Chain A
Amino acid sequence: MNEKTELTKAENKAVEKTADLYKVAPAVDIFENSNEILLYADMPGVVKEDISVNIDNGTLSLSGVRKLKTKGTVNWEEFGNVQFVRSFSVPPTIDANKVEADLKEGILRLHLPKSENAKPKRIEIKSA
């Protein structure tokens, strides 16, 4: 009757399970200074192995799959297994080779360094 039962039915048949997961957008903070852009995303319950971060053609896409095992009968369930998906367009000044990511306490932290020639430069004024 509800989406959940449909989902479990589909999951049993499917070879690739992640395709059937409910997709949600994680809450994201973005910070910037002259050296880099920082991106923090809340993905509670996702382990390192199930996260993928891709930068392709100016688009940064995040995907994290939460696979929690449940046991016993459910009295109530407000969160389940989901796929956290979100994508952003990144400026071409980002050095894609130097992007770093770490995951701690369910928060994904991305460091997107700006390439050298995109950093602000101070120009000295010479007195004549």
Chain B
Amino acid sequence: MYLRIKDFDKLFGTMNLLQNRLNRFSSDFDSPYGSDWTMEQGMPRTNLYDTGEQLEIRAEVPGLDKNRLTVNIQGNYLEISGSRDSDVPEGYKIQNAERESVSFSRSMTLPVDVDTAKASAVIKDGILYLKLPKAEAVKPKRITIA
């Protein structure tokens, strides 16, 4: 029996080896930094956390203030859109340009219905933090045992 488990281990070992090779080949593959998307490409990176009581969405939006960002929620459909103007100062020559002026829109379907009236959003250090309390019907409930 043990011998057979060893065979399985070997099999998965080979897969790990392959993954390590792939990581070296393309550093973005399965990396904690996630996908290649950036705000410049029209797709700001987002994270979604579920704390039980509420959903928390974070999005990378460097250089955007609250006037340049719109968040729309309809049921469980969320849309984040915004734009950033080119910040080339007057009278300067451009030597290197990677941070272009952008306008983006990203929409997603939330896993549960949220209470839009209690939703809140803040921008801090170039990251948008969206807090969306879940609708009463989908909140986790403790059932007391009689």
Q: Which residues of A contact B (CB under 8 A)?
A: 1-4, 7, 22, 24, 27-33, 37-38, 40, 42-47, 68, 70-82, 105-107
Contacts and interface: CB of A to CB of B under 8 A. Distances in A.
B77 interface: no
Interface in B50-75: 50-52, 55-56, 58, 60-65
Interface stretch (B3-11, B37-45, B113-121): B37-45
A34 to B, nearest CB: 9
Contacts of A4: 31-32
Contacts of B98: 27-29
Contact of A105 (B55, B63, B88): B63
A77 B37 CA distance: 12
Contact of A106 (B47, B52, B63, B88): B63
B37 A78 contact: yes
A43 B62 contact: yes
Contacts of B61: 44, 106
Nearest to B93: A32
> What band does the interface of chain B fall in when counting residues whose beta carbon is under 8 Å from A?
35 or more
Given A45-B127, A46-B125, A78 B65 contact: no
Query: What DSSP secondary structure best describes chain B's contact surface?
Result: loop
Interface of B: 16, 19, 23, 30-35, 37-38, 40, 45-52, 55-56, 58, 60-65, 87-89, 91-99, 111, 123, 125-127
B95 A30 contact: yes
Contact of B34 (A44, A47, A79): A79
A79 B51 contact: no
Nearest to B48: A75
Given A75-B48, A105-B63, A30 B96 contact: yes
Contacts of A1: 16, 19
Which of B32, B33, B91 has most chain A Cβ within 10 Å? B32
Contacts of B34: 77-80
B62 A106 contact: yes
